[in-house]
């Protein structure tokens, strides 16, 4: 590339500028600013100095870019120079090198991960410790192994019924355990279970898919939705015992027109609930009157006509909520 520039650089520069001025090359791509950056950088590099180029600028000298930037009907005026093919080969080689380096980085990351996994497992065995994930993984593997039939039978006899609370925090691996123990027997997995391994089984799952957004311990909302589709029944929990009736009415009003797309996710809809009767609107008073059930607050931009970024919006919303909670607690403390 250096040799090609030293041999053909001045002529190539003249050809590019002449072609652009003649209307053959796009003046959007080959504008004065781009060329004013490119030529000095190429000249400095040819003298052995550090190359101050960006790939976008160097591509202006590639044969592929010149073809793409030639205006319709102006092919005869497209600049020609051996430098352009050399630049194309150089850019392509740089792209291949970057791809190879990225691949090597991924290989290294996977090797480090595998080595760390093996070392951690060895240390745990030596110290006789197991994490919650180890327990889950061990059970899941055992239920797929050669002794799966005996293990399933033992678990079914010992646990004829199970209730899983906060099911939205269940990941696919945990759900596979419950499916194997409490679900129907797949023909290809347990073709000949004895009658005593087929007792009446009951599995109840309680959860709220809207809370799956937190991703607690790898919880996956799709696991929840698939389980709900396969359940024999999916009765809603239609009574709320924690919130004041006025709050339930406010939330119902807020989501009244949202329909099935209330949360922007297929399969997750808003279901109104009724008060459970344990709390009244007067359970929380402000200046002797029931406190507002729901407050909507608009945070104006710090700079007029300038939108906040998502990160800044979350930060400001969190600070506003914190301030509101502090003010409420301060009022309660003062009586």
- pLDDT band at residue 198 using 50, 70 and 90 as cut-offs: low
Whether residues 66 and 150 fall in one domain: no
% of the chain with per-residue pLDDT over 70 = 90
Cα 137 from Cα 122, distance rounded (Å): 16
Tell me the CB-side half-sphere exposure of residue 109, using CA atoms within 13 A.
6
Instruction: Tell me the mean pLDDT in the region 273-289.
Output: 88
Whether residues 318 and 253 fall in one domain: no
Q: Is the pLDDT of residue 307 over 90?
A: no
Encoding tokens for residue 140? 């899941």
Beta strand 285-286 with 289-290 is antiparallel
Whether residues 216 and 256 fall in one domain: no
Query: Is 84 part of any domain?
Result: yes
Whether residues 142 and 207 fall in one domain: yes
Whether residues 177 and 273 fall in one domain: no
- pLDDT band at residue 129 using 50, 70 and 90 as cut-offs: very high
What pLDDT shows up at residue 187?
44
Question: Do residues 294 and 247 lie in contact, with contact meaning Cβ atoms separated by under 8 Å?
Answer: yes
Whether residues 97 and 137 fall in one domain: no
What pLDDT shows up at residue 213?
66
Of 52-66, 199-213, 275-289, where does the model show the most confidence?
275-289
Q: Is the pLDDT of residue 52 over 70?
A: no
Q: Please tell me the total count of domains within the chain.
A: 4
Q: Is the pLDDT of residue 5 over 50?
A: yes
Whether residues 87 and 69 fall in one domain: yes
Q: Is the pLDDT of residue 112 over 70?
A: yes
Cα 109 from Cα 97, distance rounded (Å): 18
With the CA atoms of 180, 186, 189 and 192 taken in that order, what torsion angle do they form, in degrees rounded to the nearest 10? 110
Alpha helices (H) along the chain: 2-21, 32-46, 55-58, 63-69, 82-127, 132-142, 148-158, 172-182, 221-230, 245-254, 310-334
Cα 244 from Cα 293, distance rounded (Å): 8
Whether residues 134 and 223 fall in one domain: yes
Whether residues 287 and 308 fall in one domain: no
What pLDDT shows up at residue 193?
52
Query: Is 244 part of any domain?
Result: yes
What pLDDT shows up at residue 188?
42
Question: Do residues 274 and 239 lie in contact, with contact meaning Cβ atoms separated by under 8 Å?
Answer: yes
Instruction: Tell me the mean pLDDT in the region 57-84.
Output: 92
Whether residues 85 and 39 fall in one domain: yes
Domain hosting 29: range is 2-101
Q: What does pLDDT average to over the chain?
A: 86
What pLDDT shows up at residue 237?
87
Q: Is the pLDDT of residue 100 over 90?
A: yes
Instruction: Tell me the mean pLDDT in the region 66-89.
Output: 94
Instruction: Tell me the mean pLDDT in the region 45-72.
Output: 80
- pLDDT band at residue 191 using 50, 70 and 90 as cut-offs: very low
Q: Is the pLDDT of residue 195 over 70?
A: no
Cα 87 from Cα 38, distance rounded (Å): 13
The DSSP element (H or E) to which 23 belongs, if any, is none
Whether residues 255 and 304 fall in one domain: no
Instruction: Tell me the mean pLDDT in the region 294-308.
Output: 79
Between 46-60, 120-134, 225-239, the lowest mean confidence (pLDDT) is in: 46-60
Taking the whole predicted model, whether its pTM rises above 0.85 is answered as no
- pLDDT band at residue 285 using 50, 70 and 90 as cut-offs: confident
Alpha helices (H) along 212-293: 221-230, 245-254
Query: Is 108 part of any domain?
Result: no
Encoding tokens for residue 258? 């949202």
Question: Do residues 8 and 83 lie in contact, with contact meaning Cβ atoms separated by under 8 Å?
Answer: yes
Place of tokens 């194997």: 180
What pLDDT shows up at residue 79?
94
Q: Which residue has the higher pLDDT, 260 or 99?
A: 99
Residues 6+ apart with CB under 8 A from 152: 143, 180, 181, 190, 193, 197
Task: Tell which residue, 277, 276, 318, 283, has the closest CA to residue 297.
Answer: 318
DSSP letters, 111-133, are HHHHHHHHHHHHHHHHHT---HH
What pLDDT shows up at residue 189?
46
What pLDDT shows up at residue 172?
87
What pLDDT shows up at residue 197?
52
What pLDDT shows up at residue 226?
86
Whether residues 46 and 90 fall in one domain: yes
């Amino acid at each position: 590339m250096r040799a090609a520039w030293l041999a053909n650089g001045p002529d190539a520069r003249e050809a590019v500028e002449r072609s652009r001025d003649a209307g053959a090359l796009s003046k959007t791509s080959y504008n004065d600013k781009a060329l004013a950056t490119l030529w000095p950088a190429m000249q400095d590099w040819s003298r052995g100095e550090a190359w101050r180029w960006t790939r976008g600028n160097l591509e202006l000298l590639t044969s592929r870019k010149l073809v793409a930037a030639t205006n319709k009907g102006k092919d005869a005026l497209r600049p020609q120079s051996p430098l352009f093919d050399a630049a194309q080969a150089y850019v392509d080689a740089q792209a291949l090198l970057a791809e190879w380096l990225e691949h090597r980085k991924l290989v290294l990351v996977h090797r480090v991960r595998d080595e760390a996994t093996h070392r951690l497992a060895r240390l745990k065995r030596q110290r006789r410790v197991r994490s919650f994930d180890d327990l889950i993984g061990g059970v899941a593997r055992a239920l797929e192994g050669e002794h799966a039939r005996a293990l399933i039978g033992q678990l079914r006899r010992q646990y004829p019924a199970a209730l899983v609370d906060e099911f939205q925090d269940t990941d696919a691996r945990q759900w596979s355990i419950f499916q194997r123990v409490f679900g129907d027997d797949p023909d290809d997995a347990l073709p000949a279970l004895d009658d005593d391994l087929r007792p009446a089984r009951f599995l109840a799952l309680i959860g709220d898919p809207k809370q799956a957004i937190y991703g607690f311990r790898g919880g996956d909302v799709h696991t929840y939705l698939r389980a709900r589709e396969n359940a024999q029944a999916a009765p809603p929990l239609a009574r709320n015992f924690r919130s004041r009736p006025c709050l339930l009415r406010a939330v119902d009003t807020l989501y009244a027109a949202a329909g099935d797309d209330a949360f922007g996710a297929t399969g997750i809809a808003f279901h109104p609930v009724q008060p459970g009767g344990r709390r009244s609107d007067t359970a929380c008073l402000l200046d002797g009157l029931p406190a507002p059930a729901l407050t909507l607050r608009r945070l104006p931009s710090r700079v007029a006509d300038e939108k906040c970024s998502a990160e800044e919006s979350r930060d400001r919303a969190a600070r506003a909520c914190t301030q509101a909670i502090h003010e409420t607690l301060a009022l309660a403390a003062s009586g």
